[in-house]
Structure 1
Amino acid sequence: MSSVPSGEVAAGPRVSRPLAAAALALLLALQPVCTDVMVPALPVAARELGAPMAAAQLAMAAMILGFGLAQLVWGPLADCVGRRPVLLAGLALFAAASVGGALAPGIGALIAWRALQGAAMAAAIVVARAIIRDLYEPREGAQVMALAQSGLGLIAIVSPALGGLAVGWGGWRAALALMAAIGLAALAFIALKLPETLATRDPRAAAPGPLLAAWRDIGRHPVFVAWALLNACSYGGLFVILSGSSFVYMNRFGLSAGAAGLTVASGSLAFLAGTVFCRRRIAARGMADAVGRGAFFTLAGGAGSVAAAFAGVESIWPWLVAQWLFSFGHGVHQPCGQAGAVGPFPRHAGAASALSGFVLALGSFAIGAWLGAVQGADVRPYALTLGVLAAATATLAWTLVRRLPPPGRP
C-alpha cells in the first residue's frame, strides 16, 4: 500500500484567506530578498574582496545549494513537529546568518554564510508551500498561491532597488544587513499572527524508513513529476537572470549598482502581472491551461535573449523586454507549479514540498556553477542558458502538464 495517500484533507484551523496570503507572501519573499537584494551587491563584493567573478557567482550558488539540501530536513520535520516551530527556528537562523555574512572578512566566509542563509531560508519556503496544502485543495491553493505571489511580486519589485540603494549607501555589506532586518520582521509577524496550520502531526514523518517510502511514492507520482519539473525549469531560467543579469547590465552596458537593481525590479513588475493573469486563467480554465498560455511568454523571453546576444545588439532594451517576457511567464508557472507539486499529498505536504524544492535548488545550483565558469565579457552563454531553460519549460507545459487529469480526478 502506498505510504502517501491522496485525496484526503484533515480539518485544520481556520485561517482567513487574506492572512494566509499575507503570511505566504512574506515567507516566500525571503527567496527574492535573498537573491534580488544581492544582485547589485555581487560585482561590488567581488571587487572589494579581490575575488574573481566565479567566486562571486559561487556565493549565489552556495546559497541555493544550502537552500536545496536543507529542505530535505525542514520538510519532514515540519510534518513531524508542526509548521510554527520550524518557521520560527528557520527565520531566527536566517537573520543570524545574514548578520554573519555582513561581517564576513573574505569571499570564503561570505560563501559559507550565504550557504547557511540559504539553509535557513529553506524553512520558510518549504513550510509556506506545505501550509497551502494544509488549508486548501490544489485548485484553490493555486489561486491563493497566485495571490500570495502577487504580494511577493510587490516585495520583489522593491528588493533589487533597495539592494542597489543599500550598496550605493553602505557598500555590499549593507545589502546583507538589510536581509537581516527583513528576516527579523518576518519572524515577528509569524510569531504574532500565524497559528499552527497542521491539524495532525505525524511523529514518524522524519524517521528514515517512512520518510524514504514517502519520497519514493512522491517521486514517482506523475502529478508531482510534471509540476516539480515545470517549476524547476522556470525558476532555473529566473535564476539565470538573477545571478547573471547584473554582470550583463553593469559590465556590458555600464549601469551603476542602483540602475542594475532597478532593471531587476522592472522584471518583478512583469512577474506581478503574470500572477494576476494566472489567477484569472485558473478561475476560468484551470491550472494546465494557465501554464500552457504562460509558456508562450516564457519561450519568447528566452528566444529574445538569444537573438539579442547573437545579433550583437548594443541597446539594453531588447534584453529588458526579453527579461520582462520570461518573468511574466514565471509569474504563471510558479504558483501553479508549487501548488500542483504538493496537491496529491495532504498528509505529506512537507515532504512533497521539500522534494520539489530540492529538485529546483539542485538545478539552480548547477546553473549557477555553470554560469560562474562560462560567463565573462561574452553574453552568449548567459543568453543560451536562458533560452534552453525557456524551451524546456514550454515543452513541459505543453506535454507532461497538459496530459494530467484535472485536480481531484484520478
Structure 2
Amino acid sequence: MPANANHSSTMPPGLIVLLLSLLLGLQPITTDLYLPALPVLTAELGAPMAQAQLTLTALLLAFGGSQLVWGPLSDRFGRRPILLIGMAAYVLASLASTLAPSMGWLIVWRTLQGAAMGAGVMCARAIVRDLYEPTQGARVMSKGLSGLGVIACLSAPLGGLVSELLNWRYALLAVGVFGALTLAAVALRFEETAPQKNPQALQLGTLVATWRAILSNPTFLAFSALSACSYGGLFTFLAASSFVFTGVLGLSKIQYGLVMFVNSLAYLAGTFICRHWLPRFGVRRAVGMAGVLSISGGTLMAVLTLAGWVSVWSIMPAQMLFMIGHGIHQPCGQSGAVGPFPKAAGAASAVNGFLMMLCAFAMGGWLGTHMDGTVLPLTLGVWFWSALIALSAWTLVQRHG
C-alpha cells in the first residue's frame, strides 16, 4: 500500500510507478519518435513546413482540449474505464496514422491520437492525487517522470534508426505498438484508484463550479504557470529541433536521434535531482533553485547564438541545463497543481494539462511561420520560456506554493 495514501490500493508501489511511466511516456513517444523522420516525411508527402508543424501542434491541441472532457468523465466513472477507452482509441489512431495517404490525413489521425493520449496522461496525474498527499505525490510523480525520461531517451534514437533503415511509416507503427503494450498493462494489472465516483461530475452546474474553483485557486495557478512555461520551453525545442539540427546544422537522422537522447538524459537527471532535493529543501526551494538552471540554460543558449557561434555545442550544453530544470519543475508543477483538489483530481489534472498544451500550441503556431533557416527561432524561443519559468518559480510558487 502506498505511503501516506489517501485511498487504499493493493497494487504494489513498483507497479504503480511502472503504470505511471507507461501512461506519462505516451507523450514523448508520440512526439519524439517520429521527429527524426519529419523532414523526410514532409518532402515525401509534398507538404509545406507549416503543415508538417500541424502534425505536432494539432496533436497537442487535441491532447490538451480532450483532457477537459476526460477529466470530468474519470471523476464520474473512474480512471479504469476511461483509460481502457482512451488507450484503445490511441492504438487505432496510431495504426491509421501509419497508413495515411497524405499530409492532410496524417494531421487528422494525429489529432485523434492526441485526443486519445489525453486520457492516459490526465489519468496518470489524477492517479497520483488519488493515492498520495501532495508532497509525497511530487516524489512519486518524479519517479513516473523518470520512467518517462527513459522512454524519451529511447524514442528519438529509435525513431532515427527505424526511419533510416526502413521509413517514416514504421516509426509511426512503433508508436502504435507502444500504445498496445500500455493498453495491455492497464487491462491486466491496473485497479481503480478513484476513492469515490462523483455522480454529479458531468452536470453543467457542477462542471462550471469545479472549473471556477480550480481557476481561482492561487496554488493551482502558481504551479500551472510553472508547468505550462516549462513545457512551452520543451515544446519549442521539440518542434524546431529536427529542422535545425538536420536542416541547418547538417546532422544525419541517427546523429539527431543521439542529440535527442542527450536531451532526454538531462531531463532524466533532473527527475533524480528532484527526488534528492524535495526531502532536503521542500518544494518551493527546490523549484526556486531549478529556476536558476532554467534561466541560465536559456540565456547561455541565446547569447552564444546571437554572438554568431552556431553549432551543436552552442546549443546542447545550455539545453541540458534547461532540461535538468525541466525535470524538477514538471513533477513539482503537475502534482502541486492537482494537490488542492482531492475530490476533483481528474478535472484539476485536465485543466493543468490543457494550459500546458495551450502554451505549446501557441508556440507551435509561431514557429510554423518564423522558421527562417537559422537556429534563432529555437534558441530565442527557449530563452523566452526560461525567463517565464524563472519568474513563476521565484514569485508565484514562493508565494502560493
TM-score range, shorter chain: over 0.9
Aligned to 1:35: 31
Q: Which of the residues 262, 267, 280 maps onto 2:258?
A: 262
Shift of 1:14: 3.6
Distance 2:48 2:305 in 1: 23
Per-residue CA deviations over 1:65-117 (Å, capped at 9, x if unaligned) read 11011000001000000000000111111111111111111111111111111
Is the Cα–Cα contact under 8 Å of residues 305 and 314 in structure 2 kept in the other structure?
no
Question: Which amino acid in structure 1 is aligned with residue 81 of structure 2?
Answer: P
Q: Which of the residues 58, 77, 84 maps onto 2:80?
A: 84
Q: Which of the residues 162, 166, 169 maps onto 1:170?
A: 166
Aligned to 1:243: 239
Aligned to 2:154: 158
Distance 1:287 1:345 in 2: 18
Per-residue CA deviations over 1:186-228 (Å, capped at 9, x if unaligned) read 0011111111111210111122110111000010100000001
Aligned to 1:69: 65
Q: Which residues of structure 2 form unaligned runs of 5+?
A: none
- Give the TM-score, by structure 1 length: 0.95
Partner secondary structure for residue 376 of structure 1: coil
Aligned to 1:274: 270
Is the Cα–Cα contact under 8 Å of residues 12 and 134 in structure 1 kept in the other structure?
no
Q: CA RMSD in A?
A: 1.3
Aligned to 2:280: 284
Question: Which amino acid in structure 2 is aligned with residue 253 of structure 1?
Answer: L
Shift of 1:304: 2.1
Aligned to 1:109: 105
Distance 2:357 2:311 in 1: 32
Alignment of 1:191-202 (within 5 A): 191-202=187-198
Per-residue CA deviations over 1:284-333 (Å, capped at 9, x if unaligned) read 11111111111111112211221232122133112111221111110000
Distance 1:106 1:307 in 2: 40
| Farther-moved stretch of structure 1 (120-129 vs 34-43) | 34-43
Aligned to 2:333: 337
Distance 1:94 1:350 in 2: 19
Q: Does 1:13 align with 2:4?
A: no
Distance 1:294 1:189 in 2: 34
Q: Return closer, same or farther for 1:316/1:9 CA change in 2, 3 Å cut-off.
A: closer
Is the Cα–Cα contact under 8 Å of residues 310 and 375 in structure 2 kept in the other structure?
no
Question: Which amino acid in structure 2 is aligned with residue 397 of structure 1?
Answer: A
| Farther-moved stretch of structure 1 (303-312 vs 283-292) | 303-312
Is the Cα–Cα contact under 8 Å of residues 240 and 367 in structure 1 kept in the other structure?
yes
Shift of 1:404: 2.3
Is the Cα–Cα contact under 8 Å of residues 222 and 392 in structure 2 kept in the other structure?
yes
Distance 1:161 1:71 in 2: 29
Is the Cα–Cα contact under 8 Å of residues 227 and 401 in structure 1 kept in the other structure?
yes
Per-residue CA deviations over 1:325-363 (Å, capped at 9, x if unaligned) read 111110000000110000000000000000000111111
Question: Which amino acid in structure 1 is aligned with residue 276 of structure 2?
Answer: R
Question: Which amino acid in structure 2 is aligned with residue 386 of structure 1?
Answer: V
Q: Give % identity.
A: 48
Distance 1:11 1:47 in 2: 51
Is the Cα–Cα contact under 8 Å of residues 134 and 346 in structure 1 kept in the other structure?
yes
Is the Cα–Cα contact under 8 Å of residues 7 and 193 in structure 2 kept in the other structure?
no
Distance 1:208 1:143 in 2: 34
Is the Cα–Cα contact under 8 Å of residues 10 and 200 in structure 1 kept in the other structure?
no
Shift of 1:10: 5.2
| Farther-moved stretch of structure 1 (210-219 vs 35-44) | 35-44
Q: How many residues align?
A: 398
Aligned to 1:48: 44
| Farther-moved stretch of structure 1 (28-37 vs 396-405) | 396-405
Distance 1:105 1:30 in 2: 24
| Farther-moved stretch of structure 1 (199-208 vs 224-233) | 199-208
Partner secondary structure for residue 343 of structure 2: helix
Is the Cα–Cα contact under 8 Å of residues 315 and 379 in structure 2 kept in the other structure?
no
- Give the TM-score, by structure 2 length: 0.97
| Farther-moved stretch of structure 1 (301-310 vs 345-354) | 301-310
Aligned to 1:219: 215
Q: Which residues of structure 1 form unaligned runs of 5+?
A: 1-7, 406-410
